[in-house]
Amino acid sequence: MTRSEDLFNQAQTMIPGGVNSPVRAFKSVGGTPRFIQSAKGATITDVDGNTYLDYVGSWGPMIVGHTHPDVVEAIRSAAGRGSSYGAPTEAEITLAQKIIEVVPSVEMVRLVNSGTEATMSALRLARGATGRDAILKFEGCYHGHADSLLVAAGSGAATFGVPSSPGVPEATAKDTLTLPFNDLEAVEKLFSKQGSEIAAIIVEPVAGNMGCILPKPGYLQGLRRICSKHGAILIFDEVMTGFRVALGGAQAVYDVQPDLITLGKVIGGGLPVGAYGGRKDLMEQISPAGPIYQAGTLSGNPLATAAGLATLNLICEPGFYDRVGAATKRLVDGFSSIFTKAGVAHVCAQQGTMFGLFFTDQNSVDNFAHSAACDGKRFNRWFHGMLDAGVYLAPSAFEAGFVSGAHDETVIDKTLEAAEKVAGKI
């Protein structure tokens, strides 16, 4: 028995499913999750001493690579001054200023503790500002585990075939409307009937929880137009895409300005963090400036703030996104070429430093139904083959992959060498 197997057996007696977040359990792909002991650069090492090239990157935050010395030193220095104060710090202002400088739509920002908290708070703000109850989300888009958002969710919910969760009251779910991603006509029809009831549209501008699915040309622009016409709030959930697909997020890539955005992952440099921000007239309605309540004991935590600032300073260096984006493209193009030679039907997608792989004979993958129709058994064989070859991919076909600044040419070459050996066997 491996050490990971032993730890997993122990964990299942004390932690539900043996993990503290569902997709980590390997239930979708089978087998035993690897218990990680350490990480450095583009690699992670498990408790059995196996080192893997890592394309999960803690599900996105590790954009500069694991244990980057600047980030480690920032955390160490901050910890030496105190881990939490429950009072304001200058670093919170500095991080807020950095976000406002870089993200086009943000005039004010509030720091919170997770992506879930950010989306939950942004929706409360949208409902409070409009006086409306209904929200529109899209099938397969995951916005955290708040009750009103666990309807037709992606990611872990999709992995286990549970689009909604027990424990979510019908009264809560009824105000969450769902439509297929990338179907603008369906949105127009819904708003023509119920537009006056809908407080907000919330969307992952590049979907990362049903694989990596890009918006069709004009789709995000259409959502912007519909919200403006009907007085609804457009919320971009950029917890994953923020600082991942580009320095200014997906809104900078697609030139669409939402009213509110949610952020997380990268802005904490690997520590727990979230944020929501946007138009000043909306954000000033948040307590204590306004009547809409939201609070958090650890919001603006000095350790997360320090790690986030160090990370943002690194990714703002000239050429960072060109270099990492090129590495991601080389990886994805390499996968596609290898699959084609092996006769494996597939679709690959990439935006910035995110990528997705779909085993399908469809010409494109545009929504959750397309993603769910892909060959899950082939994905499982691919995942385990790559894991055995020393490459750690997301243990779910519904998750995006991530490349970091530590994924140099040597790392990409080794990954493609492994892929070439595995592709013919899946």
120: closest CA among 57, 172, 62? 172
Inter-residue contact 45 to 293 (CB < 8 Å): no
Q: Which domains, and CATH codes, for the chain?
A: 3-67+318-423 (3.90.1150.10), 69-315 (3.40.640.10)
Give CA–CA dist 379/357, Å, rounded.
9
Mean pLDDT by runs of 10 across the 426 residues of the chain is 96 96 90 97 98 97 98 98 95 97 96 96 97 93 79 48 58 82 96 95 96 97 98 98 96 96 96 97 97 94 97 97 98 98 97 97 95 95 98 95 98 98 94
**What is the pLDDT, as a whole number, of residue 158?**
41
Residue in the structure block whose two tokens are 């309540």: 293
Catalytic residue among 137, 254, 259, 265: 265
**What is the pLDDT, as a whole number, of residue 176?**
87
274: closest CA among 145, 188, 163, 393? 145
Find all residues with CB under 8 Å of 193, minimum gap 6, and list them: none
* Residue 193 known to be catalytic: no
Give CA–CA dist 361/382, Å, rounded.
16
Catalytic residue among 237, 259, 366, 375: 237
* Residue 265 known to be catalytic: yes
Distance from the Cα of residue 64 to its chain's centroid: 16
Find all residues with CB under 8 Å of 300, minimum gap 6, and list them: 88, 89, 91, 92, 95, 111
**What is the pLDDT, as a whole number, of residue 278?**
98
* Residue 142 known to be catalytic: yes
**What is the pLDDT, as a whole number, of residue 358?**
97
**What is the pLDDT, as a whole number, of residue 146?**
75
Catalytic residue among 52, 55, 142, 219: 142
Inter-residue contact 57 to 404 (CB < 8 Å): yes
Give 60: exposed, middle or buried? Use CB within 10 Å, 0-12, 13-18, 19+.
Answer: buried
Q: What does residue 83 show for φ and ψ, rounded to 5 degrees?
A: -90, -20
What does the block give as tokens for 342? 């092996």
